[in-house]
Amino acid sequence: YVMDEVLGLPSFSYGAGLNLYNTGYTAYFMNRLGAYRVDRRKKNPIYLEVLKSMSNLSLQRGTNSLFFPGGTRSRSDSLETHLKIGLLGTVVEAQRAMYESGK
């Protein structure tokens, strides 16, 4: 990670929609800044489980996870009224796995 090695900031990962990968320039930087691609249209259980596993493994390896509780950025700068807790669940699962393994 550029931010960790060069700038000395803690590394983090975050999901980014496919629309942010439409141009080569943004895709180049998104990949290097810790983003992983998320296709919001896919509802396949296997795809969703792989995303959760990726987040879980990333957390267990010490990478911070950045996510928006409402599922996207707030356009009005206010807190979302309906929170999506999918990724929050992976944080809990990763913490439990690290506790059980003694990390």
**Structure tokens, 41:** 């249209």
34 and 1 Cβ atoms separated by less than 8 Å: yes
71: alpha, beta or left? (left if phi > 0; alpha if psi -120 to 50): left
What pTM did the predictor assign?
A: 0.70
Domain count, the chain: 1
For residue range 27-46, what is the model confidence (pLDDT) as tens digits? 888 888 888 888 989 989 99
Structural domain including 16 reads 2-101
3 state DSSP class of 11? coil
For residue range 54-80, what is the model confidence (pLDDT) as tens digits? 888 888 888 888 877 777 777 787 777
